[in-house]
Every structure is written in structure tokens, then in C-alpha cells.
A and B are shown apart, each in its own frame.
Chain A
Amino acid sequence: MKTQKLTVMALTTAIALVLSFIESQIPAFVAVPGVKMGLANIAIVYALYRLGWKEAALISLIRVVLVSLLFGSAASFLYSLAGAVLSLLGMALLKKTGKFTEIVVSVAGGVLHNIGQIAMASIILETDALRYYLPFLLVSGILAGVVIGLISGILIRRIHLS
């Protein structure tokens, strides 16, 4: 791995971590857990377009581990991990088709992140009660995804680190 790429990846990871921290300090808009902006996804979408899916996956994984160690718990690690994996898979596949802009990619990322978390929580808690929860998270995931997608799009076009 080239030193420059390594540096850019480290920088992107650091930014993702800072964004996660900022997000954890913002009080929730709606009193439904899981309804979040997903600010860190800006860094992940940027990495996906500027560095590649493997790099984005690595950054996402490191972010999940560090965030759970710093501000989370064992349960939150599993939820985040499921969300991150599903989200990244969906985003990478949609980007690969070449038919969509960052907006659709990021919306899919947001929605899939929520679905992944719910699925993991349902498995851990052995319950299907969380299905009541999905429509809320779909709506919030779409809205947040549009905002994140627009911001990511600007950054992808204007900032050339590698």
C-alpha cells in the first residue's frame, strides 16, 4: 500500500470518528432510537468514491470498532457492525451499476444501516416487535440519506486527496 493512500485512509477514518463523536453529542430530533443523521457516512461515501470499496469497508470497520470502544457497548458494537456491513454492501453494489448518483447510494446506505441494526437487534433479543419500528427508520433513513448524499457529492467533486 502506498504511503499516500495509507495517509488518506487514516485521515478519512479520523474524520469518520470525529463525525461519529459530533453526532453522539447532538440530542436526538425525534425520540425514536436509531433515528440519526449518519454523519459518519459522509466519510464512508467519500472513501467509496475516491478510494474504492475495499478501502471504504476497512475504514467503516475500523470506525465501528473504535466508536464502540470509545462511546458504546458490546451490544451497540454488534448493532453497528450489522448496519455497517449491510450498508456498505448495498452502497458498493449500487455504485458499481454506474446508474445512480451519490444521493441514491447514500440513501440506500442510510436505510440499509437501519435495517441491519434492526435485524441484529431482533436476533439478539429474539423478538419480532421491532418490525413496528421499521417504517420510522425507513423515512428517517431516506431523509438523512439525501442530506448526506448531497454533502458527500460536493466533497467528492471538490476535494482530491489522492
Chain B
Amino acid sequence: MKRGTMEQKERKKYIRDLILVGALLIAALLVLLVIRNRQERKTGTDAVVTVRTADGDAVYPLNKDGVFSLNGGTNTLVIENGEAWVSEANCPDKVCMGMGKISKNGEFIACLPNQVIIVVEGGEESPVDGRT
């Protein structure tokens, strides 16, 4: 008898927890959607690609095609037709190469093993933030 009520209580706790987690998930998805939407509207024509490495930042205009060696050669950045991507990386997982092409404000590629972050920054605000 006692065992039965215990189990029922457990089950109730489980269901309540799943609802709680479901609500959290929906909230997180909403945040993600809102951020995505804002990104698409904010991209300006004079957007730049900011590359942050352990040695400092570098800025490349997104409207100028080119191939750049980053961070002393650990990663290769390609800019073409207003899109930027990583074509080469010496890290074992190559996640940064799989992250695809970025072109919208706030989109980024990260290569954590090499400590490289590549972010698109739109035209509205000053693209260079003084920190070098």
C-alpha cells in the first residue's frame, strides 16, 4: 500500500519536472528565434568579418573577396560573394569547417581548439571596437 502511494508521488514529480523542462525549452527556442530574426534585419552592406584570436583582433570587409591565413596559419578564412567560411583548419575535429558560410550580422564560426572566433558584424554600429 505504502509502496503504491510512493510510486504515485514519484510519477507526479516526474511529470511535473518534464513540464518544467518543456517550458524552459520553449523559452530557449523563442530566444533563439528572436535573435535570428534580429540578425537578418540588421545586416548592413558595409558588414565586416571580425576575427578574434589569442593575439588580437583583425577585421576584413565582407564585400571584398579573398583568402586569408589566420592565427599564424592554423585556420584559413575565405571571403567570397559576401559570405565567409573556414576552408582549412589544423584542429582534429574540424567543427569550424563544418559550420558553413556566414554572412548575417551576429553569425559566427568558432574554432575553440585554436582559440579563433570569426563573427560577422553589421554596418549599424561601429564595426571596430577599439580592443586590439
Contact = CB atoms under 8 A, between A and B. Distances in A.
Interface in A123-153: 124-127, 129-130, 132-133, 135-136, 138-139, 142-143, 145-146
Interface string B1-31: 0000000001001100110110011001101
**Category for how many chain B residues contact A:** 35 or more
B24 A31 contact: no
Contact of B99 (A32, A125, A129, A139): A32
Interface in B103-117: 106-108, 110-113, 115, 117
Contact of A127 (B18, B31, B95, B117): B117
Contacts of A76: 112-113
Contact of A139 (B13, B25, B52): B25
Contacts of A127: 52, 117
B96 A33 contact: yes
Contact of B17 (A73, A100, A139, A143): A100
Chain A: interface size category: 20 to 34
Interface string B68-106: 000000000000000000000000010110111000001
Given A138-B28, A139-B25, 19 more contacts: A31-B98, A32-B95, A33-B93, A33-B95, A33-B99, A33-B112, A73-B113, A76-B112, A76-B113, A100-B13, A101-B13, A101-B14, A101-B17, A103-B21, A104-B21, A127-B117, A129-B117, A132-B35, A135-B32
